[in-house]
Chains A and B, each alone.
Chain A
Amino acid sequence: MTLLDSFTSSRATEPRAERPINTEVASNAALILEDIRIDQGDRPLVSLDARIAPGEVLTLMGPSGVGKSTLLAYIAGFLAPAFRARGRVLLDDTDLTRLAPETRHLGLLFQDPLLFPHLSVGGNLAFGMPREGSRRERRRRIEAALEEIGLAGLAKRDPETLSGGQRSRVALMRVLLSRPRAMLLDEPFSKLDASLRHEMRSLVFARVHRLGLPTLMVTHDAADAKSAGGPVIELGGAS
């Protein structure tokens, strides 16, 4: 069990109270990207060699088209057949490279919250939770998770009826409830307006740090990198 800051729906950017949360940490392994090289046909596209410590956020920056998202897709296990890749993805000593995407336990956050429209808000959270515990226990954990992001009592709501910021928070909670062992963020804040962006950044990074999740973030926005506080790698232009 780890302590995690609570979040209220006001413009709270600093943790105000601490309470136990129901997203336990599965492990505190480092995410190791060992000499990864991706080619598109015969053309080398992108390469990366990095070790991301637990709780650290590594930011990849660079113009569009340098293969940032392709790299993320490879790490998550979704590389399109048009690409060829070498190199390994490890969590400490565990090699993920040959595993199916669903067994890698890498939490994904995209620029869109992608809440499943056929499920309720609570259903979306339940979709991410491991299959364990009684129904009442699961429901209790969903309620607690919603309370943490200032959405108490909204479990039965249609996701379409939430505001943009609320949806982003539910998407974050959904990932955390699945107990990921590392996080992959694909321009996660780029579609939010300025104030919401600020709010979501602190929310995401605070949790990543506290849960000790190694995190890889791809972004255009230098402010994201600054807010993450970790190392930054420039792709494309620099090399």
Chain B
Amino acid sequence: MVFFSPTIRALPWVAIALLSLPVAGGLAGVLAPALGWLPALGGHELTLEHWQTLAATPGLADMVRLSLTTGLASALISLAIVMLFIGAFAETRALALVRRLLSPLLAVPHAAAAIGIAFLLTPSGLASRLISPWPSGLDTPPDYLFPGDPWGLGLILGLVIKEVPFLLLMSLAALPQCQAQSRLRLARSLGYAPLTAFAKAVLPGLYPLIRLPVYAVIAFASANVEVAMILGPTTPPPLAVAVVRWINDPDLTMRFVASAAALLQLGVTLAALGLWWLGERLVARLTQAALTDGRRHSGDRLWAGAGGLTTLLAVALLGGSLVGLVLWSLAAWWPFPATLPSPLSLHAWRGAMPGLKEPLAQTAVIGLAATGLSLVLAIGALEAEHLRGRGMAAWAELVLYLPLVVPPVAFLFGLVQLQVQAGLAPGAMAVILAHSLFVLPYVFLSLSESYRRIDPRWAQVAAGLGHSPASRFMRVRLPLLTVPILTAAAVGFAVSVGQYLPTLLMSAGRLTTLTTEAVSLASGGDRRLAAVYALMQLLLPALAFALALTLPRLLMHRRSGVLNP
């Protein structure tokens, strides 16, 4: 094992290269065609003509406006819900319960959640059936446009439902770092009501720690494709959806316009981040005086009620969506306003079975490969930290967020163009690498806290007993981390299962996964089949989490110290 230390020390650099090169290369790969240069499609000279075409596109301003408003509004609402929830429920059992539910909630793929919400709230959905014919008095579906309302409210809702668990997870991980508990107790003992204590004593320390995740949320929401395709308005759609349409346009010269639009999307996302940043300054300045004005109660009951209510609403929405999906998948004949389909039938499932096999296998193989690669790199990067005895540099931590902040539609499309220019065949390898760009950051974020918290004395004891660094890693540190590693693997697998755009673009539409199928079925007419695919999409990550939970208990059932560290 002479090669152990050099290998481990090299892995962080491999991880950094994997995360940064495709993003940088992808942006370069979209910049050139945007300026007219793409020899493979006959573009040989630099021109601004494609930008002019883009600018003349009808509805462009609406697209940009939609991307900005839905991105910022969903991030703001998510952050508010999370902060109210933590503030109202800090140090209660509810928080401990939610903490345990978080990972599976995070695992719900965006598309599945969006389909669930669409089917729940659509005029003929479960929600309006529950209030019809009594008390609403309706015996035909009400007349409103959902999904796809022109203001993007449905889209905002879908994004919030998915962003809340993520921000909650990141906030809970950050709480101990800012000594939240002692700050809170100190403020309470000085007479501050719980939420006021949280807002004045904890929040100023907590927010800087979750700023990067918040930026990732804004970036994701302002550039998301699959949620917007399912829940967003269609004419015009948000900019990212339009970019994908142009990319898939049979007229290949549209790719030049698509490249320009992809860069515009980058600009829109950066603008959203910039606006948020300005908002941060403004809020900091406006609230500075209030922090020390000595008020002990500022509408605590009201805010706590709002926190509880919104959390309840979010849970009800997710639960209702799930029930709705199950009912739709079992429905044969389900006239409005019947609450339940009758009779229940497995017809849709039986019909879907033959077609499910291939997407299921593709999804699993891609997910396992991307997760495996990401685990090796994440563990390597963390073990290298341990070997060096020093944490990773701040800039390296930023690289981790690169694929989460740069709009995927921009750099992935650039990679496709590079692929075309280099004459490489699109396929599974490219898809797996592209998935890893998004899986690795989540695997790393999920694992890093536990990994950095291992008591260094474990390794010291082992070294004192004559064990080499490789043996200490394999025989002490890895087994101690069995549970967090399996959890991180499940998170990574779930992230991969949920990926839509990387699969679509990097395989040139030739690979079908559960997610690509679900998204394309969602806009089609067959709700039953779409429900089956959305449920399958949920089932796979759920299976991964169940395995992560039960495997250590089976393998190490007499090692309670590993299971409950």
A contact set with B: CB distance below 8 Å: 73, 76-78, 80-81, 100-108, 110, 112, 114-120, 127-128, 130, 158-161, 174-175, 178, 180, 184
Contacts and interface: CB of A to CB of B under 8 A. Distances in A.
B90 interface: no
Given A114-B458, A118-B556, A160-B560, A130 B466 contact: yes
A127 B475 contact: yes
Interface string B367-389: 00000000000000000000011
A193 to B, nearest CB: 21
B534 to A, nearest CB: 39
30 contacts: A76-B460, A76-B463, A78-B456, A78-B463, A80-B389, A81-B389, A81-B390, A100-B469, A102-B463, A102-B464, A102-B469, A102-B472, A107-B465, A108-B460, A108-B461, A108-B464, A110-B461, A114-B457, A114-B458, A116-B458, A116-B479, A118-B480, A118-B482, A118-B556, A118-B562, A119-B559, A128-B465, A128-B466, A160-B561, A178-B464
A114 to B, nearest CB: 5
A15 B467 CA distance: 32
Contact of B455 (A114, A160, A178, A184): A114
Find the residue from B463, B472, B565 having the highest chain A CB count within 10 A.
B463
Q: Is the interface of A mostly helix, strand, loop or mixed?
A: loop
Interface of B: 388-390, 455-458, 460-469, 471-472, 475-476, 479-480, 482, 556, 558-562, 565
A23 to B, nearest CB: 13
B555 to A, nearest CB: 10
Contacts of B466: 102-103, 105, 128, 130, 178
B147 to A, nearest CB: 49
B565 A117 contact: yes
B509 to A, nearest CB: 46
A160 B561 CA distance: 6
Contacts of A159: 561
Contacts of B390: 81
Contact of B561 (A73, A106, A117): A117
A102 B560 contact: no
A194 to B, nearest CB: 25
A77 B457 CA distance: 12
A26 to B, nearest CB: 11
Given A104-B464, A114-B461, A120-B558, 12 more contacts: A76-B460, A78-B460, A78-B463, A81-B390, A100-B463, A108-B460, A108-B461, A116-B476, A118-B482, A119-B479, A160-B560, A160-B561
Nearest to B558: A158
Contacts of A112: 457
A81 B456 CA distance: 14
Contact of B479 (A76, A105, A118, A128): A118
Contacts of A130: 466
Contact of A158 (B389, B462, B475, B561): B561
Contacts of A78: 456, 460, 463
A130 B412 CA distance: 53
Given A117-B565, A158-B558, A160-B560, A127 B462 contact: yes
The 4 closest A-B pairs by CB, nearest first: A117-B561, A118-B479, A101-B463, A108-B464
A158 B464 contact: no
Find the residue from A76, A101, A106, A158 having the highest chain B CB count within 10 A.
A101
Contact of B464 (A76, A80, A118, A161): A76
Find the residue from A73, A80, A127 having the highest chain B CB count within 10 A.
A127
A130 B560 CA distance: 27
Contacts of B461: 108, 110, 114
Contacts of A105: 466
Contacts of A104: 464
Given A110-B457, A112-B457, A118-B482, A77 B560 contact: no
B484 to A, nearest CB: 13
B468 A102 contact: yes
Given A81-B390, A110-B457, A117 B464 contact: no
B463 A158 contact: no
Contacts of A107: 464-465
A160 B556 CA distance: 13
Contacts of A73: 460
B46 to A, nearest CB: 50
Nearest to B464: A108
B460 A101 contact: yes
A127 B561 contact: no
A81 to B, nearest CB: 5
B516 to A, nearest CB: 40
Contacts of A110: 457, 461
A209 to B, nearest CB: 20
A158 B559 CA distance: 6
A151 to B, nearest CB: 17
B130 to A, nearest CB: 49
Contacts of B469: 100, 102
A157 to B, nearest CB: 8
A208 B341 CA distance: 78
A117 B562 contact: yes
Contacts of A76: 460, 463-464
A159 B562 CA distance: 11
A80 B387 CA distance: 11
A73 B458 CA distance: 13
A180 B466 CA distance: 9
B462 A175 contact: no
Contact of A102 (B467, B480, B565): B467
Contacts of A108: 460-461, 464
A178 B558 contact: no
Contacts of B476: 116
Find the residue from B465, B476, B480, B565 having the highest chain A CB count within 10 A.
B465
A5 B329 CA distance: 73
Contacts of B472: 102
Contacts of B464: 76, 101-102, 104, 106-108, 175, 178, 180, 184
Contacts of A81: 388-390
A180 B465 CA distance: 8
A178 B565 contact: no
Find the residue from A77, A81, A105, A160 having the highest chain B CB count within 10 A.
A160
Nearest to A80: B389
B460 to A, nearest CB: 6
Given A110-B461, A116-B458, A174-B465, A158 B482 contact: no
Nearest to A101: B463
A117 B476 CA distance: 9
A220 to B, nearest CB: 18
Contacts of B565: 117
A92 to B, nearest CB: 19
A77 B463 contact: yes
